């Protein structure tokens, strides 16, 4: 029976030392003021090139990152697979948006797709579109495409070529690839390219996956549009569901720019939108593949129940549950133990390059309702259980 409170299974992959270290880390980052100070100090340290690896690597980095390189991640990948959990490697370096930085990110993403072809313990490849172009170009192409200059049209064409080259490489390697969602001001251009890629590469199965941030109230309509388009043009959409990562920034930008707030009115509306999207895909699973990324226990329970109600196998290859490395192990390992398809997002990059990602993870654990409290409660319960043995 699926039980996310089973800490013995949840932390079966952790030693006593790892449990204690995780408890200390989450007990530290539960304080928003401390995380804000750490963010400020980190930004200063990066600007003056102050070495941070000595402090970060044994703490945040060890908890949330697989390693510096693809090869460094092998230990984490193999360890997770021992517990029936697959991995999705995510190059999480936030490099400079210069021609050199963009090319380096593109090249590394190609390597990650090739690596996924050779390693059957990897479920997906992934890329973030804004890392292979500039924020300015992506925003203008999304919001004011008709105003692009000749040089910007050329630059956008080059971005599109890089975008499609990644999808093409995934198709050639038979590797599913997730196109991460971004800020609202970027997303229209990303949606259009992702739609084109799905039409081209998803004829026999889902290779390219669109990411829908369901805190946007227009995403159900977009999902239904994808479904209708897939029937008309005969392809299999891949859909990755997340709740969303930029709520405060989105609302502030909408107010500043004078356009309607794109975000659902409250958390309940977001939860309802999220669950409705998941149900829609499961109701039409013969026309979809799905990656459900969430740390919300209730949504994971609901999908497991839907799979049972529809008479699907727990390990139906079209449906994956997903959580981030270092978070919600009670969900991931219990699902895997019950035979569901589970993958962990495993970021990798050099310490300084991945610091912005790590700060976001720390902020997320102070802002997501109950997340740090759940982690601490579960870790404490498991440590006490082991003492009683």
pLDDT in tens, 110-144: 999 999 999 999 999 999 999 999 999 999 999 99
Q: Which of 72, 84, 83, 59 is nearest to 11 (CA)?
A: 83
Q: How far apart are CA 146 and CA 141, in angstroms?
A: 8
Q: How far apart are CA 125 and CA 359, in angstroms?
A: 23
pLDDT at site 53:
53
pLDDT at site 134:
96
214 contacts 274 by C-beta, under 8 angstroms:
yes
Residue 95 belongs to what H/E stretch?
none
pLDDT at site 257:
87
The more confident residue out of 221 and 41 is: 221
This prediction's pTM = 0.92
**Sole residue written with tokens 């079209």:** 318
The more confident residue out of 13 and 361 is: 13
pLDDT at site 369:
47
pLDDT at site 245:
75
6-9 CB contacts, 8 Å cutoff, 24+ apart: 6/330, 6/334, 7/330, 7/378, 7/381, 7/382, 7/385, 8/382, 8/385, 9/333, 9/334, 9/337
Confidence category of residue 370, pLDDT binned at 50, 70, 90: low
The proportion of the chain whose per-residue pLDDT surpasses 90, expressed as a percent, equals: 74
383-389 CB contacts, 8 Å cutoff, 24+ apart: 383/16, 383/19, 383/20, 383/23, 385/7, 385/8, 386/16, 386/19
- CA-CA-CA-CA torsion for 168, 171, 176, 180, nearest 10 degrees? 10
132 contacts 162 by C-beta, under 8 angstroms:
yes
pLDDT at site 54:
46
* Weakest mean pLDDT among 33-37, 275-279, 344-348, 374-378: 33-37
Q: Which of 335, 337, 355 is nearest to 347 (CA)?
A: 355
Is the pLDDT at 322 greater than 50? The verdict is: yes
The proportion of the chain whose per-residue pLDDT surpasses 70, expressed as a percent, equals: 89
Is the pLDDT at 14 greater than 50? The verdict is: yes
**Residue range 229-242: mean pLDDT, rounded:** 98
Confidence category of residue 179, pLDDT binned at 50, 70, 90: very high
Is the pLDDT at 364 greater than 80? The verdict is: no
β-pair partners for 122: 87
pLDDT at site 44:
45
The more confident residue out of 245 and 213 is: 213
**Residue range 294-299: mean pLDDT, rounded:** 95
Is the pLDDT at 42 greater than 80? The verdict is: no
Q: To the nearest whole number, what is the mean pLDDT of the chain?
A: 90
pLDDT at site 37:
45
For residue 272, count CB atoms less than 10 angstroms from its CB and return exposed for 0-12, middle for 13-18, buried for 19 or more: middle
222 contacts 210 by C-beta, under 8 angstroms:
no
14 contacts 378 by C-beta, under 8 angstroms:
no
* Weakest mean pLDDT among 38-42, 100-104, 120-124, 291-295: 38-42
**Residue range 157-177: mean pLDDT, rounded:** 98
Is the pLDDT at 30 greater than 70? The verdict is: no
Confidence category of residue 372, pLDDT binned at 50, 70, 90: confident
What domains lie within the chain, and their CATH numbers?
64-356 (3.20.20.220)
Confidence category of residue 50, pLDDT binned at 50, 70, 90: very low
For residue 9, count CB atoms less than 10 angstroms from its CB and return exposed for 0-12, middle for 13-18, buried for 19 or more: buried
Contacts of 301 (CB under 8 A, 6+ apart): 2, 4
Entry field: residues in the chain: 389
Strands (E), the chain: 86-91, 122-127, 177-179, 208-213, 238-242, 289-293, 319-324, 342-348
Q: How far apart are CA 209 and CA 189, in angstroms?
A: 15
* Weakest mean pLDDT among 85-89, 265-269, 330-334: 265-269
Structure tokens at 267: 């958390």
Q: How far apart are CA 25 and CA 381, in angstroms?
A: 16
Confidence category of residue 13, pLDDT binned at 50, 70, 90: very high
pLDDT in tens, 73-108: 999 999 999 999 999 999 988 767 899 999 999 999
Confidence category of residue 43, pLDDT binned at 50, 70, 90: low
């Amino acid at each position: 029976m699926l039980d996310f409170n089973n800490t013995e299974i949840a932390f079966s992959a952790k030693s006593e030392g790892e449990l204690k270290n995780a408890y200390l880390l989450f007990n530290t980052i539960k304080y928003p003021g401390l995380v804000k100070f750490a963010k400020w100090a980190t930004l200063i340290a990066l600007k003056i090139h102050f070495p941070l690896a000595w402090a970060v690597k044994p703490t945040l980095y060890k908890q949330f990152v697989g390693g510096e390189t693809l090869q460094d991640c092998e230990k984490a990948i193999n360890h997770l697979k021992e517990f029936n959990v697959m991995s999705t490697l995510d190059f999480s370096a936030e490099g400079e948006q210069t021609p050199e930085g963009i090319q380096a990110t593109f090249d590394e993403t190609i390597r990650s797709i090739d690596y996924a072809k050779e390693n059957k313990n990897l479920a997906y490849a992934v890329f973030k579109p804004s890392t292979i172009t500039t924020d300015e170009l992506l925003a203008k192409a999304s919001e004011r495409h008709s105003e692009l200059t000749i040089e910007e049209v050329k630059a956008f064409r080059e971005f599109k070529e890089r975008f499609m080259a990644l999808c093409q490489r995934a198709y050639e390697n038979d590797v599913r690839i997730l196109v991460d969602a971004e800020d609202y001001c970027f997303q229209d251009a990303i949606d259009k390219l992702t739609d084109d890629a799905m039409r081209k590469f998803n004829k026999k199965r889902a290779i390219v996956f669109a990411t829908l941030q369901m805190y946007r109230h227009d995403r159900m309509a977009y999902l239904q549009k994808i479904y209708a388009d897939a029937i008309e043009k005969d392809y299999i959409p891949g859909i990755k569901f997340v709740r969303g990562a930029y709520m405060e920034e989105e609302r502030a930008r909408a107010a500043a720019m004078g356009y309607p707030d794109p975000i659902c009115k409250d958390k309940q509306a977001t939860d309802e939108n999220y669950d409705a999207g998941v149900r829609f895909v499961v109701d039409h699973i013969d026309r979809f593949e799905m990656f459900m990324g969430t740390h919300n226990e209730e949504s994971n329970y609901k999908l497991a129940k839907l799979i049972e109600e529809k008479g699907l196998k727990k390990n139906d290859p079209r449906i994956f549950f997903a959580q981030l490395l270092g978070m919600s192990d009670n969900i991931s390992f219990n699902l895997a133990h019950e035979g569901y398809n589970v993958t962990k997002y495993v970021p990798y990059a050099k310490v300084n390059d991945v610091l912005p990602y790590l700060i976001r993870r720390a902020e997320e654990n102070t802002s997501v309702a109950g997340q740090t409290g759940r982690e601490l409660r579960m870790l404490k319960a498991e440590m006490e259980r082991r003492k009683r043995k």
